[in-house]
Amino acid sequence: MSTLALQSYIGQTALLLSDKLRFAVRIVDAKMAYGSIRLLVTPELGEGTVWVDSSRIQIEQKEVQS
């Protein structure tokens, strides 16, 4: 994956999936590690950051206005 493609994740709002819970997070950085996309996320409410595998992230779709 190109650097430009990884940068497209940054700034997006997403849901972090954790067992039966989903947390609203904002993606603040992205990188490739061991062939997987890793995303640095911070909660919408609260504080802190954590690197997670992209498979645990559900990016919210933005509505397209006509």
Q: What pLDDT tens digit does each residue of the chain (66 aa) get?
A: 788 888 989 999 999 998 899 999 999 999 999 899 999 999 999 999 999 999 999 987 765 454
Q: Is 63 within a domain? A: no
Q: Is 22 within a domain? A: yes
The sign of the torsion formed by the CA atoms of 63, 26, 9, 1 equals negative
Q: What CATH number should be reported for the domain holding residue 8? A: 2.30.30.140
Domain residue limits at 49: 3-58
Number of domains in the chain: 1
Q: Is 41 within a domain? A: yes
Q: Is 28 within a domain? A: yes
pTM for the structure as a whole: 0.85
Q: Is 39 within a domain? A: yes
